[in-house]
Amino acid sequence: MHSRLILFTLSLYLALSVLGCTSKPPADGTTDTGTGTDTQGDPGKDSKNSKEGKEVRKEPIVVPAGKTVTVSLGSALGSKLSQSGQTFSGTVAKDVLVGNAVAISKGATVGGTVTDAKPLGKFAGGAVLQVRLDSINLNGSDLPVQTALRTFTIKGKGKRTGVMAGGGAALGGIVGALAGGGKGAAIGMAAGGGAGAGGAALTGNKEIVLPAESAVSFELSQPLEITQ
């Protein structure tokens, strides 16, 4: 009986020893996982910061005073057709360059004002049309511009000839007499370097007419700063 008790005790001790050896402690990696993740950082955040660092704000383009902006008129203007204070619209007829960069792209919409319009008989027997460019639409917003006035005048020279001037300088157009008729002949006039359909014309009674799509050049009187 005593030997059986000793044997039972030894067996119980061995069983408990085996159980103690086979049980494993918690892995150290489970407690350090969070710390490891934190040290790696957020890849998406790092990428965003990198992109922001690379984005450098571009310097604005400055179009200097004296630069010419050629405009294609959206509708006809004239000494008799138009009134002082009337607004007009159009588009830039060709790219405006500053160095090798396009500062104002062809096709940009523009707005202007007729500052004076006098038909035949109200200006010392002649006619006058004066226009001004006010704004250019760039990057979705109207940018105010300051330009020199464009002035077109006609003064009669007897029954047979007349001279049309633009901006104070004669454009070289002369209205000749029709053979045997003695009436003024309408001749297309350049309104800024253009000719034909893109120029100004004189009607038979010496009124000034700038047809739709006429190319009219305006000279900037102040620099124009354009944000890129």
Residue 18 has pLDDT above 50, yes or no: yes
| Residue range 73-101: mean pLDDT, rounded | 96
Residue 41 domain-assigned (yes or no): no
Q: What is the pLDDT of residue 44?
A: 60
Lowest mean pLDDT among 8-22, 131-145, 191-205: 191-205
Q: Does some domain include residue 29?
A: no
User: Model confidence over 24-55: pLDDT tens digits?
Assistant: 555 555 555 545 445 455 666 665 665 555 56
Dist CA 161 CA 176 (whole Å): 5
Residues 187, 204 contacting (CB under 8 angstroms):
no
Residue 55 is predicted with a pLDDT of 63
Flag whether 172 is in a domain.
yes
pLDDT at 138 over 70: yes
Residue 190 lies in a domain: yes
**What is the number of structural domains in the chain?**
1
- Which residue, chain included where needed, has tokens 């109200």? 122
**194-220 pLDDT tens trace:** 333 334 555 555 789 999 999 999 999
Q: Is residue 38 part of a domain?
A: no
Considering the domain boundaries, does residue 33 fall inside one?
A: no
Phi, psi (degrees; rounded to nearest 5) at 45: -65, -40
pTM for the predicted model, two decimal places: 0.61
pLDDT the model gives residue 126: 83
Say if 163 falls within a structural domain. Answer: yes
| Strand blocks (E) in the chain | 61-63, 68-73, 77-78, 87-92, 96-98, 101-104, 109-123, 126-138, 141-144, 150-157, 161-166, 169-174, 188-189, 200-202, 208-210, 215-219, 224-226
Structure tokens at 149: 């006035």
Q: Say which residue, 120 or 90, is predicted with more confidence.
A: 90
Q: Which of 14-23, 39-48, 77-86, 97-106 has the lowest average pLDDT? A: 39-48
Whether 24 maps to a domain, the answer reads no
| 46 or 174: which leads in pLDDT | 46
**pLDDT attached to residue 187:** 30
Q: Which residue has the tokens 């294609």?
A: 72
CATH number of the domain enclosing 78 = 2.40.128
Question: How is residue 134 written in tokens?
Answer: 């006010």
Could you give the CA distance from residue 125 to residue 71 in angstroms, rounded to a whole number? 29
- On average, the pLDDT of the chain sits at 73
Domain housing 135: 61-223
Q: Name the band, by pLDDT with cuts 50, 70 and 90, for residue 124.
A: low
pLDDT beyond 70 at 155: yes
